[in-house]
Amino acid sequence: MHELAIAESIVEGVTRHAQECRAQRVTSVRVQIGEASGIVNDSLAFSFEMIANMEPLLNGANLVIERVPHRARCRHCNKEFDVIHFIAQCPTCETWDTNIISGTELRILDMEIEASKD
Amino acid sequence: MAKISIVQNILAANDDVAREIRQTLQARGLRTINMMSSAGAGKTTLLEQTIRHLNGRLRLGVIEGDVETAADAERIDAAGGESVQIITQGACHLEAHMVRAALTQIDLEAIDMLFVENVGNLVCPAGWDLGEDLKAVVVSTTEGDDKPAKYPHMFAASQVMIINKIDLLPYVDYDLSAVKRFALAVNPRLRIFELSCRTGEGLAAWYEWLLAFAHAKTEVSEEAEVGG
């Protein structure tokens, strides 16, 4: 539901960086989206395309989405495990005393640009 | 073609504003709760009751977020609170810049604590840091008992869960223990209040906790794990 707002933030962030390095055009943007962020890939791709096409620097840019698994680490036995349906219970010692180590990312990693001719 | 590394949070711009808000409020010793729920769970009613009950002991400010109308801010004012209405004109959640703008319209000297009442929605609001000290989610017995299982992000991101309308338990198919079990499964550190704004049952524990929280006698648990 909020993929549109996320796409807007990606386009704003990338546009600023592209202007800083005087890019002529951004051809590709790579982002990291955690499984626990609630963001749906297809909706984000659709929203990004729509918003990027309104921005001359990003018109036609490709969005590459890397999903990051939702993982946790047990504070007792240090085991790292997949968090399924947000339930972060250690499968070994069954404690709830665990830390989320990945899956909440919403991150712009990098972009590919065509540099300015001058 | 050149590859340029960026590596920044997608919501970095929002997070910057949230940090600024947090600093402003902390400098004044004002603790802040971001209150979220689906539409109709009873956020505004709970705030009205709280303002009336704590009259003279705790002066509450409320930033009201709604898609349309200033009706909720009017209710808060009528109860004796200080309020500012944000009308999002369609947006399904509040963002930090909206709260920053609203803060300029509220007399921070006239309040002891601040609530931000988010747009009624169990999905998007969880993802945006508004500079609050903690997030509280309100559910009610008329919504069905599957909410924590269906919207785990919200319950994982919150530190407090309030189950409202418990006076209706005899009339609705609502498995209270299942709700708590699911919510605690996604967030074992969640603090739970069960109450009814209509009968007053359970409100005493909420008031007691809120007073301690507002006076910074309650530890603020760790940052929300989702959406940051």
What does pLDDT average to over chain B? 93
Q: Which residue of B has its CA nearest to A109?
A: B7
Q: What is the pLDDT of residue B216?
A: 82
Contact A2 B92 (CB under 8 A): yes
Residues of B in contact with A18 (CB under 8 A): 4
pLDDT of B29 > 50? The answer is yes
Segment B60-73 mean pLDDT: 94
Q: What are phi and psi of B201, to 5 degrees?
A: -60, 135
Q: What is the pLDDT of residue B228?
A: 30
pLDDT 10s digits, A67-102: 999 999 999 999 999 999 899 999 999 988 899 999
Residues of A in contact with B9 (CB under 8 A): 106-108
Q: Smallest Cβ distance to B13: which of A12, A106, A107?
A: A12
Report yes or no: B132 and B103 within 8 Å, Cβ to Cβ: no
Most A CBs within 10 Å: which of B4, B147, B180, B221, as the mutation test of the A interface? B4
Residue B162 lies in a domain: yes
Query: What CATH number is associated with residue B96?
Result: 3.40.50.300
The range of the structural domain enclosing residue B28 comes to 2-223
Is B126 in CB contact (< 8 Å) with chain A? yes
- State how far the alpha carbon of B3 is from the alpha carbons of A28, A63, B65, in Å: 9, 14, 41
Complex ipTM, two decimals? 0.89
Window 82-111 of B: residues touching A by CB (8 A cutoff) are: 91-93, 95
Q: Smallest Cβ distance to A106: which of B10, B126, B152?
A: B10
- Indicate the pLDDT class of residue B89, thresholds 50, 70 and 90: confident
Residue B137 lies in a domain: yes
Contact B1 A13 (CB under 8 A): no
Number of domains in chain B: 1
CA distance B226 to B39: 22
Q: Which residue of A has its CA nearest to B185?
A: A87
Residue B228 lies in a domain: no
Q: What is the pLDDT of residue A8?
A: 95
pLDDT of B46 > 80? The answer is yes
- Indicate the pLDDT class of residue B219, thresholds 50, 70 and 90: low
| Residue B162 burial class via C-beta count within 10 angstroms: exposed 0-12, middle 13-18, buried 19 and up | buried
Q: What is the pLDDT of residue B218?
A: 66
| Buried residues in B177-208 as b, exposed as e (16+ CB within 10 A) | eebbebbbbbbeebbebbbbbeeeebbeebbe
Q: What is the pLDDT of residue A1?
A: 59
